[in-house]
A and B are shown apart, each in its own frame.
Chain A
Amino acid sequence: MGGGEGERGLVDTLSKKDFTTDQEVRWCPGCGDYAILSAVQGFLPELGVEPHKTVFVSGIGCSGRFTYYVDTYGVHGIHGRAPAIATGIATARPDLSVWVVTGDGDGLSIGGNHLIHALRRNVNIKILMFNNQIYGLTKGQYSPTSEEGKVTKSTPFGSVDHPFNPIAVALGAEATFVARTIDNDRQHLTEVLRQAAAHRGTAFVEIYQNCNVFNDGAFDLLRDKPQGSRSQIRLEHGEPILFDDDMRCVAVGDNGRLIVANVDDVSPDSIVVHDVHGRPSLAFALAHLSHGPTEPTCIGVFREFGRPVYGDAMEDQMRRATERLGKGDLSGLLHSGDTWTVR
């Protein structure tokens, strides 16, 4: 398998080819996953981490196949469990760059528990969640991010489930890096990946991904070129939140609630300046600004802050224990406590 890995002494000679396997990519033609794969393969060389020091872990679903196409170490695990498997890898081996690829069904439904706990622990992994708001690989059932009323094979009269807001879930789990981007905006996607990779701890990146077979057009408002960008509310740290050629903005309305408004209709003081390091309340409010991608929606980094990284804390405890007690002596352990000797 693989065979495309070129071993080099100098990481600055890495190229997209070094992260591309010889496996035939088997997503449906036109799937948003192709664009994400290409962007990731194109971006990885700039990290300067060699393929053999990188691990991709995925679950089940269309996103799960991602692992086979990136020429690094990889585990294509089982449904929803990628964050758990990746936690084992990243905690055992802090020297590795560990990435999780998951989807809305994999990550938020069957694997919801592992996702929130990885975020809570702040394991040093980067989680890319491809959100297409549908179960693709099982051929078109509604997912935990499908909108209410969604008509699918399993909901012929429309879904009565209320969807998760993935960004709010991640913020609620106190993820230390939370961002959203879009599959076909290579530049924005790459920039978000860059920031996620630079973050120490768990980075959660939701990627709006079009499933052109079972849920085509779900993100058209934001994704269609060129007018889609007019509905993208791009978050930039330290900048006033303006969009639609600076004609519209996010402002503080009545009772401190955030609103989308025309710049001309509000006082300049009320326009929100984005602060990724600020209180979670701002990030939450931005996450809830729209009811879904059918309204102007925030993309970019919602929140980033520092917190001890899980594996680091564990290594630290081991180091301190060894300093205090000396390196474990097996014979000493076996003889510890009350013993007696028979001659």
Chain B
Amino acid sequence: MTKTVEEKQRVVVRFAGDSGDGMQLTGDRFTSATAVLGNDLATLPDFPAEIRAPAGTVHGVSAFQIQFAATDVTTPGDRADVLIAMNPAALKADLHTVEGGGTIILNEDAFTPRNLEKAGYAQDPRHDGTLDGYQVYEVPMTSLTILATEGVGIGKKEAERAKNMFALGLLSWMYGRPTDVTLQWLEGKFGGRHEILDANVAAFKAGYNFGETTELFAHSYKVEAAPAEPGTYRNIAGATALAWGLVAAADRSGLPLFYASYPITPASELLHELARHKSFGVRTLQAEDEIAAAGIALGAAFAGHLGVTGTSGPGMDLKAEMLGLAVIMELPMVVVDVQRAGPSTGMPTKTEQGDLLLSMFGRHGESPMPIVAAATPGDCFDAAIEAVRLAVTYRTPVILLSDTFLSNSSEPWRVPEVDSLPAVDPRFERAREDGGRFLPYERDERLARPWAVPGTPGLVHRIGGLEREDLTGNISYEADNHERMTHLRRAKVEGIARDIPPLEVDDPGGDAELLVLGWGSTLGTIRAATRRVREEGRSVAAAHLRHLHPFPANIGEVLSRYPKVLIPEMNLGQLALLIRARYLVDARTYSKVQGLPIFADELEHEILRALDE
């Protein structure tokens, strides 16, 4: 039977199954094939904190969503066009994520009375009207996988585990994804274990062929490659991009990178990635706790390395005292906060932007630190380089904010030319052989003090947490000195505003009344929502902050141009609080704290509401 091919502009696919079903891997491989095809894309892994929650239950469901398109993609999509549900629990957990009229592909074999009960279904949802209005396909994925893997020499249990490859094969056919990318990857992954490789290849091909031959599916879809700037591309997740940004910044600056960290979700990904790059001279140290990780990074910074520590919210609470020490010692250091939903342990695998005010004010005393925020997975690379630049140039600890969504999700990324990446000169203080007096707190034109590294003759000095006397760095409790030093530390950080690009405003018509101001990972949503609003013929302006402290110098002027300012945040209005306090602007907050990104249609609705008020 010849099947028709229908062209689509954009599609959102969501894979959902048990934590042990390999849905993240399936999504990841689908993403790679999609990236290689040249679609623009964005992904959203969505998994529970439990490693293996009881099989078949709703809290054990792990999902992976991808939006891919022939045009620009800025978010993983609000709702799925297609849901692949590997068991009843996955259907139960994720049905609400499917667009009305959307497609649902079920693993028929998993819909046993026992599994239905474990998922909390009193009745079979396939037959009680639950799925009315959706296009439902039931495919016996488990049994077809077992059938396909007969003869490769593995047991039934192991064969069953390849059913995610069946699902991947089916979706690969449905959306015309290249198969060679997946087959090559399987070869590399299981090359040493032939029967496992054969089983996975057989399952993948069976799924692909099932789509092509069965009469169940009338047609497949085609999504053309998206136009893109010439260059070499790869798909990259935020965690990888951030780690590589640190490696690149260190490499370009000639500084050895020293990353100390304590395991914490989701920041552990950075430690895992950096630990692989020893041949770049990267030192990684898994510390005994969060405090030690910060202390070790600070010690390394004192010793002349690029000291970096990374964590998530709960770890930031613990690192606060060491960051205060770094502030008064005025040493370069970067602390990465991959924000997650709080307070306390909160929801470790869910995203939030709840740590902005913590980053601003979460230390005792007047203790200013620059804050840089990454906006997209690929942008984590540039944001890391920028954080290092500020830390080294200004001899200050810098907070680099990422979040769970950025860390886990991925997008196509144009690989930069190494020569185009900025290099920061560490400007180490030179040895003094002449016996001249060294002043550890003498400042340059940016108010940065010398970075005088142990081992250098003539620069022996002591620094620490007690207030320093201006210039000499000796301990001082003198009243005027403390006031002077407090102002100097602030002026140094505020001065960064002169050294960062002005806030750019996207206001195509120049006639917008409303400015949508964002920061961090909401960038994609804001782009998608403002585009939709403009497509409806309305004017709206948008601006996005990379630097949260200090703000770009022109922000006050930008804010004053717009009668209305809307600030969407995955918190209860933290940026809005800063903007209102500092610029006396009646900014309004659009807040979402569900552990999920803001959806484009939610923000679109909010923008229209604000425009109509």
Contacts and interface: CB of A to CB of B under 8 A. Distances in A.
A335 interface: yes
A89 B454 contact: yes
Nearest to A339: B234
B285 interface: yes
B228 interface: yes
Contacts of B260: 88
Given A5-B458, A327-B279, A340-B38, A334 B295 contact: no
Contacts of A334: 234, 244, 248, 415-416, 418
Interface string B468-493: 00001111000000000000000000
Contact of A93 (B277, B297, B303): B303
B288 A338 contact: no
A75 B251 contact: no
B247 to A, nearest CB: 7
Residue among A2, A3, A90, A321 with most chain B CB within 10 A = A2
Contacts of B472: 1
A339 B233 contact: yes
Contacts of A343: 230
B558 to A, nearest CB: 33
Interface stretch (A76-84, A217-225, A259-267, A288-296): A76-84
A76 B462 contact: yes
A213 interface: no
A73 B278 contact: no
A87 B292 contact: yes
Contact of A52 (B244, B435, B437, B459): B459
Interface stretch (A64-72, A152-160, A193-201, A272-280): A64-72
Given A68-B475, A76-B466, A341 B233 contact: yes
B304 interface: yes
B129 interface: no
Contacts of B474: 1, 23
A25 interface: no
A53 B466 CA distance: 24
Interface in B2-42: 32, 35-36, 38
B465 A88 contact: no
A342 B462 contact: no
Interface string B271-309: 000000111111101011101100111111111110100
A21 B283 CA distance: 34
B288 A335 contact: no
Nearest to B435: A7
A318 B281 contact: yes
A227 interface: no
Residue among B302, B329, B439, B458 with most chain A CB within 10 A = B302
Contacts of B463: 74-76
A187 interface: no
A86 interface: yes
Contact of B458 (A52, A84, A330, A338): A52
Contacts of B230: 342-343
Residue among B280, B282, B304 with most chain A CB within 10 A = B280
Given A1-B472, A84-B287, A87-B292, A338 B460 contact: no
A339 B232 contact: yes
Nearest to B284: A314
Contacts of B296: 84-85, 87-88, 91
A96 B278 contact: no
B278 to A, nearest CB: 4
Contacts of B32: 338
Contacts of A233: none
Contacts of B464: 58, 67, 74-77
B175 interface: no
B282 to A, nearest CB: 8
Interface in B128-186: 181
Interface in A150-183: none
B228 A342 contact: yes
Given A2-B438, A338-B35, A92 B278 contact: no
B457 interface: yes
A93 B279 contact: no
B306 to A, nearest CB: 10
A90 B454 CA distance: 11
B407 interface: no
B537 interface: no
B256 interface: yes
B433 interface: yes
B461 interface: yes
Contact of B278 (A77, A321, A330): A321
Contacts of A188: none
B462 A73 contact: yes
A338 B285 CA distance: 29
B351 interface: no
B289 to A, nearest CB: 6
A331 interface: yes
B610 to A, nearest CB: 37
B248 to A, nearest CB: 6
A77 B465 CA distance: 6
Contacts of A78: 321-322, 324-325, 465
Contacts of A327: 279-280
B272 to A, nearest CB: 15
11 contacts: A7-B458, A81-B295, A87-B299, A90-B299, A92-B283, A113-B289, A334-B416, A335-B232, A338-B181, A340-B233, A341-B233
Which 9 interchain pairs have the tightest Cβ spacing? A88-B299, A76-B464, A328-B280, A84-B295, A74-B462, A321-B278, A88-B296, A117-B288, A84-B292
Given A85-B295, A114-B292, 6 more contacts: A7-B458, A52-B454, A73-B460, A81-B291, A321-B279, A338-B35
